[in-house]
Copies of this chain bind each other. A is one copy, B any other.
Amino acid sequence: MTSRRILDTKYRISETAMALFLKEGYANVTVEAVAEASSVSRRTVFRHFESKDELVFPDHTERLGLVERCLAAAPEGSDPVDAVITATAESLREFLSRPELVLRRYKLTRIVPELRKREVVEHERYVALTRSYLRDHLPPDAPPFQPMALAALIDAIHRSALGNWVRGGGATDPEAELMAGMEWVRRMVDHQSAFSTAPLLLAVLPDTPQTRRMLTSLKDAAEELP
Please tell me if A181 contacts chain B, counting CB pairs below 8 Å: yes
Q: CA of A202 to CA of B214 in the docked complex: distance in angstroms?
A: 8
Set of chain B residues within 8 Å of A191, measured between Cβ atoms: 188, 191-192, 195
Instruction: Identify the closest chain B residue to A155 (Cβ).
Output: B152
Please tell me if A30 contacts chain B, counting CB pairs below 8 Å: no
Q: Determine if A156 and B151 form an interchain contact, defined as CB atoms under 8 angstroms apart.
A: yes
Contact for A160 among B149, B187, B201, CB less than 8 A: B149
Set of chain B residues within 8 Å of A192, measured between Cβ atoms: 184, 187-188, 191
Q: Determine if A144 and B157 form an interchain contact, defined as CB atoms under 8 angstroms apart.
A: no
Q: Determine if B195 and A201 form an interchain contact, defined as CB atoms under 8 angstroms apart.
A: no
Set of chain B residues within 8 Å of A202, measured between Cβ atoms: 202-203, 205, 214-215, 218
Instruction: Identify the closest chain B residue to A192 (Cβ).
Output: B188
The segment out of A12-20, A41-49, A95-103, A116-124 that lies at the interface is: A116-124
Interface residues of A (CB under 8 A from B): 117, 120-121, 124, 143-145, 148-149, 151-153, 155-157, 159-161, 163-164, 177, 180-181, 184, 187-189, 191-192, 195, 199-207, 211-212, 214-215, 218-219, 222
Q: Determine if B204 and A201 form an interchain contact, defined as CB atoms under 8 angstroms apart.
A: yes
Q: Determine if A148 and B144 form an interchain contact, defined as CB atoms under 8 angstroms apart.
A: no
How many identical chains are in the complex?
Answer: 2
Contact for A143 among B180, B195, B199, B212, CB less than 8 A: B180
Q: CA of A160 to CA of B147 in the docked complex: distance in angstroms?
A: 9
Q: CA of A28 to CA of B217 in the docked complex: distance in angstroms?
A: 67
Q: Determine if B152 and A156 form an interchain contact, defined as CB atoms under 8 angstroms apart.
A: yes
Set of chain B residues within 8 Å of A188, measured between Cβ atoms: 188-189, 191-192
Set of chain B residues within 8 Å of A189, measured between Cβ atoms: 188
Contact for A117 among B121, B159, B164, B203, CB less than 8 A: B121
4 residue pairs, one from A and one from B, having the closest CB atoms = A152-B156, A145-B160, A203-B203, A152-B152
Set of chain B residues within 8 Å of A156, measured between Cβ atoms: 145, 148-149, 151-153
Q: Determine if B215 and A207 form an interchain contact, defined as CB atoms under 8 angstroms apart.
A: no
A-B contact pairs, 19 of them (CB 8 A): A143-B180, A145-B160, A145-B177, A148-B163, A149-B153, A149-B184, A151-B156, A187-B192, A188-B192, A191-B195, A195-B219, A195-B222, A200-B215, A201-B212, A202-B202, A202-B205, A202-B218, A203-B205, A203-B211
